Structure 1
Amino acid sequence: MLTQKQHELLCFIDDRLKDSGVSPSFEEMKEALGLKSKSGIHRLISALEERDFIRRLPNRARALEVLKLPEGGVLEITPSNVVSLRPETPVREVVSNPAPAPAANNDVLEIPLHGRIAAGAPIEAMEGQSALSVPAALLGPGEHYALEVSGDSMIDAGILDGDFALIQKTEVARDGEIVVALIHEEEATLKYLRKDGGNVQLDPANAAYEPQRYGAGEVRIQGKMAGLLRRY
């Protein structure tokens, strides 16, 4: 049983592979289906993979293979907006004896790379159009983006200058979590969050730096740290 969007995405991927031999990008899939974010595409692809309609080839960010397509039946729109195949509908195998889908920790996802974030004195976090390929095992549920770390104020937390912080989008965080904090709607920094009554304290993980204290209205949470990527 496929939802309407899953069916649309499967057909779009298959058409593109037949036309060019190359999987469409997540941005192209997002535009083709009229979605607002790539996280919706990630969920659709995962659902199609679980149902053995497609598989993702390991260690390649844009390698999708269509394993089977619905064929010969009449699609029905159910009240829950689910597209299902009639019981007698045959399934056309695109490849014979397909290899089993790779484990999730071999999958690679592309997430937006939004410039640099300070692990020191606050600097501007720039919005960018680049993407970063990240092992899916480093990410949890939800929508994510990446920021390149600048500075050494979080060094005792194992976060070094030049690392890529993997951030889960959220506007709320618990005391003690590492967050992306936007200060005065202008500058962003990566720090431990400490709540002190009506104030917010942003703590570094380096004794050479002092904690930063602000009123609650001066700081807005833009995400919390979900993982770290380091290139050697």
Structure 2
Amino acid sequence: MKVLNQEKLDRMAEYIKSYMRANNGEAPKFGEILAHMEMSKSVGYRYLTRLKEQGVIEYSGKGTLSMEGRSLRRYNSVRVPIIGNVICGSPEEEEEYAEGFLAIPEEWVQGECFLLRAYGDSMVDAGVEAGDLILVKKTSEATDGQIVVALTENGNTLKRIFWENGRPRLHAENKSYTAQQRDIYPKELSIQGVALKLIKDF
């Protein structure tokens, strides 16, 4: 599932509320929000529309907005480590080598999780592009059709898994790949997690 960056959504909502407090309830103009967030018009509109969908603001799409009769929606969040591009070692080692942390809504998290930064183009038809963050639940088990983080004899990879007579098949979702490139039958496989959510930073 593609989502907007929640930290930016929260920061935008906080800016709007702070501005209104400092200006006797008057909301900032669209251009002022864009300048504060350093966003283009198209990206800013996307974020404002999402805040409207979340019930945080009233936005007409014509350059003005309000929070009249509404309070800033608060989210319980948790800090999840961004492990980077390659997952290896024990869970204890993973946090030690984390490149950073990201606060995400608690409701997204199922058990122990980490964030993996996608690279390559093997899953573009599933919406996964280079640089995207994938929220992954730590587990050594996966069912047919789930997208997994797997460690094989050739290294770490993100693929959709299928089981054929107990044998794993890792499937890439890129129509430009040949049939041989799309399906991998690893000799060694260690499932390190199952993808829960795709986070795009627009």
TM-score, normalised to structure 1's length? Answer: 0.48
Tell me the CA shift for residue 109 of structure 1.
1.9
Q: Does 1:155 align with 2:117?
A: no
Equivalent residue for 2:165, pick from 185, 194, 197: 197
Partner of 1:130: 99
Distance 1:115 1:165 in 2: 10
Deviations 1:104-139 (A, max 9, x none): xx23321111111xxxxxxx4364233332431662
For structure 2, the residue ranges without an aligned partner over 5 or more in a row are 1-8, 12-70, 89-93
Deviations 1:63-108 (A, max 9, x none): xxxxxxxxxxxxxxxxxxxxxxxxxxxxxxxxxxxxx9955xx233
Q: Does 1:230 align with 2:192?
A: no
Partner of 1:178: 147
Over the residues paired in the alignment, what is the CA RMSD in angstroms?
2.5
Equivalent residue for 2:155, pick from 187, 212, 232: 187
Tell me the CA shift for residue 203 of structure 1.
0.2
Higher relative contact order (CA 8 A, sep 6+): 2
Runs of 4+ in 1 over 6 A off after TM superposition: none
Q: Computing the radius of gyration over CA atoms, which structure comes out larger, 1 or 2?
A: 1
Distance 2:98 2:121 in 1: 26
Q: What SS is found at the alignment partner of 1:188?
A: strand
Amino acid at match of 1:193: I
Q: Which has the higher helix share?
A: 2
For structure 1, the residue ranges without an aligned partner over 5 or more in a row are 1-57, 61-99, 117-123
Q: What SS is found at the alignment partner of 2:162?
A: strand
Q: Does 1:214 align with 2:179?
A: no
Distance 1:160 1:170 in 2: 23
Distance 1:177 1:138 in 2: 20
Q: Which has the higher strand share?
A: 1
